[in-house]
Amino acid sequence: MDRRELFLGGLAAGASLAAFGAPFRAAASAPPFTLGVASGSPSPDGFVIWTRIAPDPAAPDGMGGVTTPAQVAWEVAEDEAMRRIVRRGSAMTTPAEAHALHVEIGGLKPDRPYWYRFTAMGEMSAIGRARTAPARGARNSRLKLAMASCAHWETGWFSAYRHMAAEDHDLTLFLGDYIYEYGNPATRTNLVRRVPMVAECRTLVEYRNRYALYRTDPDLQALHAAAPCLATWDDHEVQNDYSADFSQIGTILVEEFRARRLAAYRAFYEHMPLRPSVLANAPEMRIYGRFDYGALARITVLDGRQYRSIQPCTVGGSRRGHVAPNTCADLTDPGRSMLGMDQERWLYDGFKTGRARWNVIAQDLLVAPLAQKTTDGQPGTFTEGWSGYDANRGRMLNAIATSRLNNPVFFGGDMHAYFTADLRRNGFTGPTIATEFIGTSVTSDNAADSLASTLPDNPHIKFFDNRHHGYMTAELTPSRMETAFRVVSDRSDPRATVSTLKRYGVENGRPGAVEI
């Protein structure tokens, strides 16, 4: 049996049925761990372990089929066989968190793997593997990351996640569009599986059940069980092209959209191995942060959605992204920000104090500028990504240069295509001060071919490919970073194979990717 069959065989029947989109009601005795396990937010002495009790992941009330709070025991061990238990405890689930658990584990040894599992209702969960970060300032010699974005349930199988799970990496980075909020349009026929809802997600119950549906996927469960993760979000965790409190639809009132966003953020928290402290300033959810891996690497996770200024250069009642003429004054307005002024200040303070050899910046969008044309052929700029927030991008790159940040490398998603880019001091010109890699989608439809025709006007883009689905890996050592663009053979094949499309090296002290 291959890994997929093993995972399918090991899962609840309900989970695999739900994976095929069939309406599914669990029996009273259905197993509780249909959504798998996860770990995240690693520190030198611990991490968060997560599960959610959901014998019926599609329950119409969003409670996963749980009617009374469940007692859940957890164990953390030094070995895969769970013989040398080093921490154990138990907790009650609550309806307020849809019976999800976020357990913060501390007091562990740095820079080593641990294994964990849960027990509830007489059943044991799968065993997950977590890993602590190296001690502060430790001279650690290697870190392997695997990164993914844009997983649309309906357009493909999550084979990319299955292959990521086998990468033997230290940390997974989710770079946005972990779910899609879309409904199930009857007009679309080229889908491999369907979501049960006709309309798009708007309420807490709907977002909860969307996350639960995704988490029934055996490949995604395998990835979460294989390594701890950090996650940022892009737009589809809430609504296509939204900005802060503003819907993409101009007639939706801020108050109405704020309630929807709150529900979506809440469901994100409930399904991610985040520390409960991210809720401390509710309704804000503080997901940006810095994660240190000894002297080798600092990973800065940015939030490009929650605090951003309203979309620039809007047309009519739509706040959707589009290519606006470069004459639109919003594009360069210094009062506008992608990150919000507080997050900007925090980021630049981190650049000043960070001394790690590599500075990985994990965020959701393409940072490099892209010269495009409007529909009537004028020089134009896409408004939705960093190019719509040019002043913020300029401040960020300037802060990198003036603080002499060691080896800044940006990783992003959103584009549904691979990009390798030099980030230049003045956008299109000037010295290269940082390196950028954008990963293609796990399954979402690829970027339009028309993007390829812009490449002659964008010589700082070293590579573009919109024909594949997959993920990225990066292996860091003190002297270099190696990044691979890993592609799956066919998103519509649940047994898709994986291969490497491109491989790049970045040398210590020399920004800019070099193809290997």
Nearer to Fe ion, 116 or 178 (CB): 178
Nearer to Fe ion, 309 or 444 (CB): 444
DSSP string, 23-57: -----TT--S-TT-EEEEEEETTEEEEEEE--SST
Q: Which stretch binds Fe ion (CB under 5 A): 191-199, 259-267, 268-276, 439-447?
A: 439-447
CB of 148 to Fe ion, least distance (A): 11
CB of 150 to Fe ion, least distance (A): 4
CB of 444 to Fe ion, least distance (A): 5
Q: Which stretch binds Fe ion (CB under 5 A): 112-120, 356-364, 438-446, 484-492?
A: 438-446
287 in Cβ contact with 307 (< 8 Å): no
Nearer to Fe ion, 344 or 384 (CB): 384
Nearer to Fe ion, 324 or 442 (CB): 442
Q: Identify which of 466, 388, 14, 77 has the alpha carbon closest to the alpha carbon of residue 212.
A: 14
Nearer to Fe ion, 320 or 503 (CB): 320
Tokens of 210: 């969307």
CA distance 158 to 354: 36
Q: Identify which of 103, 106, 114 has the alpha carbon closest to the alpha carbon of residue 44.
A: 106
Nearer to Fe ion, 208 or 416 (CB): 416
Residue 231's beta-bridge partner residues?
174
- Is residue 297 within the footprint of Fe ion (CB under 5 A)? no
Q: Identify which of 39, 16, 415 has the alpha carbon closest to the alpha carbon of residue 230.
A: 39
Q: Which stretch binds Fe ion (CB under 5 A): 147-155, 186-194, 261-269, 478-486?
A: 147-155
Nearer to Fe ion, 228 or 321 (CB): 321
- For 454, the 3-state DSSP assignment is helix
Nearer to Fe ion, 150 or 229 (CB): 150
- Is residue 177 within the footprint of Fe ion (CB under 5 A)? yes
Residue 450: exposure state from Cβ atoms within 10 A (0-12, 13-18, ≥19): exposed
Q: Which stretch binds Fe ion (CB under 5 A): 61-69, 84-92, 174-182, 186-194?
A: 174-182
Nearer to Fe ion, 247 or 441 (CB): 441
Exposure pattern of 127-154 as b/e (b: 16+ CB <10 Å)? bbbbbbbbbeebebeebebbbbbbbbbb
CB of 134 to Fe ion, least distance (A): 33
CB of 177 to Fe ion, least distance (A): 4
Close Cβ partners of 515 (under 8 Å, ≥ 6 residues apart): 462, 463, 502, 503, 504
Using alpha carbons, list the distances in angstroms from residue 455 to 326, 482, 485.
18, 24, 19
Q: Identify which of 145, 139, 144, 142 has the alpha carbon closest to the alpha carbon of residue 477.
A: 142
- Cα atoms in the Cβ-side hemisphere of radius 13 Å centred on 81: 2
Close Cβ partners of 221 (under 8 Å, ≥ 6 residues apart): 7, 11, 35, 36, 37, 126, 215
Nearer to Fe ion, 143 or 201 (CB): 201
Q: Which stretch binds Fe ion (CB under 5 A): 42-50, 177-185, 202-210, 256-264?
A: 177-185
Using alpha carbons, list the distances in angstroms from residue 386 to 134, 298, 337, 363, 494.
33, 22, 9, 11, 34
Site for Fe ion (CB under 5 A): how many residues?
A: 3
Residue type, 469: H
Q: In the range 320-379, which residues lie near Fe ion by CB under 5 A? A: none
CB of 336 to Fe ion, least distance (A): 23
Q: Identify which of 61, 67, 104, 93 has the alpha carbon closest to the alpha carbon of residue 212.
A: 61
- Is residue 150 within the footprint of Fe ion (CB under 5 A)? yes
Q: Which stretch binds Fe ion (CB under 5 A): 150-158, 275-283, 331-339, 375-383?
A: 150-158
CB of 438 to Fe ion, least distance (A): 11
CB of 175 to Fe ion, least distance (A): 10
Nearer to Fe ion, 117 or 193 (CB): 193
CB of 468 to Fe ion, least distance (A): 15
Q: Which stretch binds Fe ion (CB under 5 A): 78-86, 145-153, 361-369, 423-431?
A: 145-153
- Cα atoms in the Cβ-side hemisphere of radius 13 Å centred on 305: 30
* Contact characters 398-437, Fe ion, x per CB under 5 A: ----------------------------------------
- Is residue 237 within the footprint of Fe ion (CB under 5 A)? no
Q: Which stretch binds Fe ion (CB under 5 A): 114-122, 187-195, 393-401, 442-450?
A: 442-450
SS3 letters across 312-327: CCCECCECCCCEEECC
CA distance 489 to 431: 37
- Is residue 160 within the footprint of Fe ion (CB under 5 A)? no
Nearer to Fe ion, 65 or 470 (CB): 470
CB of 460 to Fe ion, least distance (A): 23
Q: Which residues bind Fe ion (CB under 5 A)?
A: 150, 177, 444
